[in-house]
Amino acid sequence: MSEVLSKREIEVLESVIKTFIQKAKPVGSRFISKNYNYEISPATIRNVMMDLEEKGFITQPHTSAGRIPTDKGYRYYVDGLMGIEDLSSGEKQEIQKELRRLNNTVESILDKSCKGLSKISNLIGVVLSPRFYSGKLKKIDVVKINENILMVILSIESGLVKTITMELKHQVKSNVLEETVRVLNERLHDLTLKEIQDTISNRMRDVSVEGEDLIQQFVNSADKLFVIENEHIHLGGTKNLMNQPEFTDRQKLETILELIDDQKVLIHKLNDYNDDDDITIMIGSENQEEQMRECSLVTAKYKIGSVYGTLGVIGPTRMHYPKMISLVDYLAKEIGNTYNLNYS
């Protein structure tokens, strides 16, 4: 908030934003005078509105209409004027109950989180699967499918299990296979998948066992075995946009739906926030993506074991920021709590 506003300007700006968020209609000076106890006349309020418009905080959509906030106005509000609206106890209990059902897998937890985001926000909920390449390997298991095919099972600290088949160059005795698995676990345990990819060759260089050829095959296959795709995104509540007045304009609606269809763009955008510790809010024109210029995105980072991911809500710039911030923050913490209950 580098620009300094007077007390009256702040009061009027906050009134315009709160009213517009609630009613989705341009706000006039007379309405503010009647509904907010500022003890100043509609004429004075009107003059203040003109000053705010000149400074770029509000705008008049058409002649004789009231004013609506600009992206700059929302940013000023978010950065210093708004309070935080906590979730109700009922909303918190609903989230906890759904997330902590028995037999939850990690992906199930993320999917339920996405549904909780969309249901409570009445906007689009989005959850990006975590960066599992930073997850630590806990154990390698190998199952012999037939004489030429192995199933390699990777157990990651974060509750994820990856299975992949590997074709053998020649037949391997059971005792050789067991010794190979022992050595792999001994030298790779507790390393991240990325560390394994980068260093497995050096870590296995001095191995002297009967199954050296098999060890070398694991080394040569590292880029295939120890890569876990994290580009999976959970989306929910797309239909909620149709209930928002901003998107009765078919062209605006189609633009944001294009973004949802092109998930690579959305994944890239969410990945940008994975290293941020705090809540991130991008408002309208602050988004580089053309499809997001009519929307705001509120995100938070969640942690599962040793890995991180991003969740958030997408909606019009008119979204109720105080509630959305509480929602994404609470769900991010609950994902971690649920994981700890299920996998600790």
For 31, the token pair is 């309405």
Of 138, 114, 137, 116, residue with least CA distance to 126:
114
- Per the CB < 8 A criterion, the answer to whether 160 and 132 are in contact is yes
Element (H, E) at 330: helix 321-343
Between the ranges 58-62, 191-195, 321-325, where is the mean pLDDT highest? 321-325
Alpha helices in 189-249 (DSSP H): 193-203, 212-220, 222-225
For 113, the token pair is 């989180």
Is the domain of 123 the same as that of 235? Answer: yes
Q: Residue 53 falls within a domain, yes or no?
A: yes
Is the domain of 73 the same as that of 184? Answer: no
For 242, the token pair is 């149709």
User: pLDDT at residue 65 above 80?
Assistant: no
Q: What is the mean pLDDT of the chain?
A: 86
31-35, 111-115, 143-147, 338-342: the lowest-pLDDT one = 338-342
- Per the CB < 8 A criterion, the answer to whether 84 and 322 are in contact is yes
Q: Which residues form the domain of 206?
A: 133-225
For 22, the token pair is 């609630």
Alpha carbon of residue 239 to chain centroid: 19
Is the domain of 30 the same as that of 106? Answer: no
Evaluate the CA torsion angle 325, 331, 337, 340 in order and state its sign: negative
Give the position of tokens 């990651």: 156
Final residue belonging to a domain, choices 195, 225, 255: 225
Q: Residue 313 falls within a domain, yes or no?
A: yes
Q: Which residues contact 240 (CB under 8 A, 6 or more apart)?
A: 118, 121, 122, 123, 124, 315
Element (H, E) at 297: strand 295-304
Of 260, 256, 265, 270, residue with least CA distance to 236:
260
Q: What is the pLDDT of residues 308-325, one digit of tens each?
A: 889 999 999 999 999 999
Confidence of residue 273 (pLDDT cuts 50, 70, 90): low
Ordered strands of the 307-316 beta sheet? 233-236, 124-128, 307-316, 295-304, 280-283
User: How far, in Å, CA of 55 to CA of 72, rounded?
Assistant: 9
| Domain at 312, CATH number | 3.30.450.40
Q: What is the pLDDT of residues 280-298, one digit of tens each?
A: 999 999 988 887 888 999 9
Is the domain of 257 the same as that of 124? Answer: yes
Of 102, 165, 154, residue with least CA distance to 132:
154
- Per the CB < 8 A criterion, the answer to whether 118 and 260 are in contact is no
pTM summary value? 0.79
Is the domain of 58 the same as that of 74? Answer: yes
For 27, the token pair is 């706000």
Q: What is the pLDDT of residues 216-233, one digit of tens each?
A: 889 998 888 887 655 688
Is the domain of 114 the same as that of 259? Answer: yes
- Per the CB < 8 A criterion, the answer to whether 335 and 304 are in contact is yes
Of 322, 331, 324, 263, residue with least CA distance to 301:
331
Final residue belonging to a domain, choices 225, 240, 275: 225
Please, how many CA atoms are within 13 Å of residue 132, restricted to the half-sphere of its CB?
22
